Amino acid sequence: MSKALSVDLRVRVLAAVSVGATHREAADRFGVSAASVSRWRNLQLRQGDVRPGPLGGDRNSRKTEAHGDVIMAWLAEHRDGTLFELRDALAEQGVTISKSALHRFLVRHGQTRKKDWPRDRAEPPGRLGAASALVR
């Protein structure tokens, strides 16, 4: 994974912009992209400094965790419920969470769910044709 460019470099680039250089000129001078200069300038205007935010990591689980009480209450009431049923119940309440996000939530909280059976999968290719060829 790449690292964020140093705060020192960001400050020097923005200092060049503040004395009259265009974003493209400052970018060429310091070997960064003009888009980075624009992002850093917006960051400076928005939050007052140019410190980089955290890189990577899980940014979506907090959406699921915000509804954790509702999810756990539903699980307590519907012991045999599937992830699809849970997802649909949440959707009725206006909460949109994918089945895979619900699965990751349950794994994090040590819960297990039954699989959705019977599966709505197609037969493997050629299987039906091979069986029908034997029965004539």
d(CA 21, CA 4): 23
Return all residues near 27 (Cβ < 8 A) that are at least 6 apart: 13, 33, 34, 36, 37
- Domain range for 41: 7-47
Are 12 and 30 within 8 A, CB to CB? yes
Q: What per-residue confidence (pLDDT) applies to 81? A: 85
Q: 68 and 40 in one domain?
A: no
Does the residue 127 lie in any domain?
A: no
Domain membership of residue 115 (yes or no) is: no
Do the domain assignments include residue 2? no
Separation between Cα atoms, residue 45 and residue 71, nearest integer Å: 40
Per-residue pLDDT, 21: 94
69 and 100 in a single domain? The answer is yes
pLDDT of 52? 86
Say what the pLDDT of residue 123 is: 59
How much is the pLDDT for 90?
A: 94
Shared domain for 42 and 68, answered yes or no, is no
pLDDT tens track of the chain, all 136 residues?
Answer: 478 889 999 999 999 999 999 999 999 999 999 999 999 999 999 998 899 887 877 777 888 899 999 999 999 998 888 889 999 999 999 999 999 999 999 999 888 766 555 555 555 665 555 555 555 4
